[in-house]
Structure 1
């Protein structure tokens, strides 16, 4: 899995990210031209879904003006599968806590899961079959390979004596994990970040000032600008702290009996890390409920790590079960937020005050906003840059 996120692979997909960022900017401008507010979730989800789809499948799934009816149906099926997947993963099942009730399938959740599993399997079979047909037509140039091509090559070229082999089920699960981990998670993080920026105009103003100083007004933000945008990075860190996209991370299990803080933990115990609570703990953070990126600009937290080395801030988990897609996910979040703030001025719908923005969380695996976020965009830069 890690081979899929090497620097070489990241560089190979840069053109894809550039194109999709341009598409998103044009879509925002289209709403502006119609006098419509921007639906952040819709725009951000289209961006992330298309980036992942093009890297994994070498195709776009949303916003394709020349799509055939078959392609539109495939895109619709994909969208429904991902939405249902996240709903079911975050659904409370009483049978998990009272085992003797599980056969009753109260609420029908298990039946929905089984039906979804069949849909996922059929969908992924179709995708893999397309790639198998492409392989049969001849060698695929390195620059034209997507993630499935890489995985199929690994499967067919692996040593028969290898203990841990790649099979079709591994490939399917990897594809599913890429979409589940790379679309909704990034979208939710960016929507919360924009919510906080709109709710806190002084922070938005300071971020704009940094972008104007580093990027200027004669071009749009590029990926290579991100390392030089320190305040932007602080804004994203603060978003991860206050609105962790995976509030309980990936479940873990103790492999042997152990003692933690005086508590006896027997082997086989399911363990959850509540990053949502850690981010709001006054013992870990000063003014924990206040959105303040400055905490990461000066003082003891200026160099805090978000990739698993500091247990107060674990947006991607830690260790071997940490998120393997950190480089791609973090880059997309930072670059997209920089682009939206640098390219546009944002105003709330008439009559809505920043302090009144509803910050209610919805129940779910990724804790998204309970209500959609809308704002009007006005271009900040010269027209020819868009």
Structure 2
């Protein structure tokens, strides 16, 4: 009798899933009827134009059948001759936007209505259940983490406090590239730039350059390569148009394999982060550590009004991973593209080097304090952000209410995607949009050139409530990295190479152009 299970109980799981599927289809039918009635009513604003959806699945078949979902979206917008469209993915309205005026409405006039984030399979895993600032939906958790980042981690005081660590990694970059030159090796610019960003992050959060032993030439070891590669896997999948994010019951099947890839990348991240974080928390708890030396110490030592730890271990672990994702992609991508474009137009390279020599000279290395004076270099970085964004779309904004934007209905629950490529290459905004022309960003008023673009003619750090709080750090890392590479070395393609292959990592011949003692640290 102890092992007996009534027959009706054994059928409960099947009944549950059958009931769930029926309710899902009923919900979809009701939602479709509601939107059909809205579109039939001439007094109610209509959805943005877009392809006709299939029942239940919407436009998912077309999107998933394409080689590139982002290219399919841009092609669809071209076919409908629109700068805002509505694509139905399962029960979600996805609203891509490539018009700066409409984009400013979303992140300006109606910012409060679009200040949340959709929850996806990947964001849920990466953020440990929506605990972090960038991925958390609008609410108290997001406000708490956003405040900590702006006030405690990326404040002007902390920025100055960490300058020495950033300088140390800029010096190590010079040492690494110099050793490549000395050994007669080609410099893989992608490895150099990505691992400079990774080194800055590790130094700022864990007070170390390497998780392992590194290499004698100052380059990354196997641990650092694995760490950075895992970050880019997470970046590639965080909002990757996975079918299960639009038809939730598909998550159990993991048809596209995204879940496995995200989980495997998180295992790598946790392998390197968790033991360091747990050991550091133990040191603060037992009193063997009481002085803040890096940002991990700052996170651990934060207290609430009752003098209890403000953050849980889960929150600390999740936020350190999210910040790593935010720090590594844009600076490395912008610098690699800038260098590639300069080699296509040698006059740009000459102009940048002339500016560096005039401002800095050749008797010392460029420093962070030089950055505001390097106007042409800043203009080059802006142009790289405009023309060559690392991702086609910005992080999605979730509509919290039915809202009328640009005379179109944006239903509650819509995912709004501001197009980095579409905005930056919009021919209505930019003349010769596909040409790399840094001069278009130079000002005649003598003011500093910022990498931000509040008018949303292109996207670098976004704006509004969900704008990036690390604008200053991101700017410094980008320009400092670019300045050190151009000031310290001459760059050329290999003599046996006729042209640059933009589909592969940039590999170049580099030679020192400063006194030898400036490369030895």
Shorter-chain TM-score range: 0.7 to 0.9
Q: Deviation at 1:181? A: 0.9
For 1:238-266, what per-residue CA distance to the aligned partner results, in whole angstroms no more than 9, with x for missing partners?
11110123431111011111112221111
Question: Does the C-alpha gap of structure 1 residues 224 and 58 become closer, same or farther in structure 2, counting only changes over 3 Å?
Answer: same
Q: Deviation at 1:104? A: 2.6
**Corresponding position of 1:151:** 299
Write out aligned runs for 1:86-125 (5 A): 86-89=235-238, 91-99=240-248, 101-121=250-270, 123-125=272-274
Question: Is the Cα–Cα contact under 8 Å of residues 50 and 62 in structure 1 kept in the other structure?
Answer: no
Q: Deviation at 1:113? A: 2.9
2:202 to 33, 53, 56: 53
Question: Does the C-alpha gap of structure 1 residues 300 and 278 become closer, same or farther in structure 2, counting only changes over 3 Å?
Answer: farther
Write out aligned runs for 1:305-324 (5 A): 306-324=451-469
Q: TM-score, length-normalised on structure 2?
A: 0.65
Q: TM-score, length-normalised on structure 1?
A: 0.86
Question: Is the Cα–Cα contact under 8 Å of residues 308 and 319 in structure 1 kept in the other structure?
Answer: no
For 1:297-341, what per-residue CA distance to the aligned partner results, in whole angstroms no more than 9, with x for missing partners?
247998775435221122111112111221111101101111111
Q: Which has the larger helix fraction?
A: 1
Counterpart Cα distance in 2 of 1:259 and 1:107: 34
Counterpart Cα distance in 1 of 2:161 and 2:273: 24
Which of structures 1 and 2 has the larger relative contact order (alpha carbons within 8 angstroms, sep 6+)? 1
1:357 partnered with 2:500: yes
Question: Does the C-alpha gap of structure 1 residues 198 and 140 become closer, same or farther in structure 2, counting only changes over 3 Å?
Answer: farther
1:247 partnered with 2:392: yes
1:278 partnered with 2:433: no
Write out aligned runs for 1:1-386 (5 A): 1-2=149-150, 3-61=152-210, 64-65=213-214, 75=224, 78-89=227-238, 91-99=240-248, 101-121=250-270, 123-135=272-284, 136-142=286-292, 145-154=293-302, 157-160=303-306, 166-298=311-443, 306-353=451-498, 356-359=499-502, 370-386=503-519
SS at match of 2:418: coil
Moved more, 87-96 or 327-336: 87-96
Q: Deviation at 1:99? A: 4.8
Give the CA RMSD over aligned residues: 2.8
For 1:210-234, what per-residue CA distance to the aligned partner results, in whole angstroms no more than 9, with x for missing partners?
1111111211211111111111111
Q: Which runs of 5+ in 1 are unaligned?
A: 360-369
Question: Is the Cα–Cα contact under 8 Å of residues 442 and 449 in structure 2 kept in the other structure?
Answer: no
Question: Is the Cα–Cα contact under 8 Å of residues 38 and 375 in structure 1 kept in the other structure?
Answer: yes
Counterpart Cα distance in 2 of 1:8 and 1:97: 42
Moved more, 241-250 or 289-298: 241-250
Moved more, 298-307 or 207-216: 298-307
Question: Does the C-alpha gap of structure 1 residues 44 and 94 become closer, same or farther in structure 2, counting only changes over 3 Å?
Answer: same
Counterpart Cα distance in 1 of 2:264 and 2:512: 45
Larger radius of gyration: 2
Counterpart Cα distance in 2 of 1:62 and 1:152: 20
Q: Deviation at 1:277? A: 0.7
Q: Deviation at 1:275? A: 1.6
Question: Does the C-alpha gap of structure 1 residues 225 and 374 become closer, same or farther in structure 2, counting only changes over 3 Å?
Answer: same
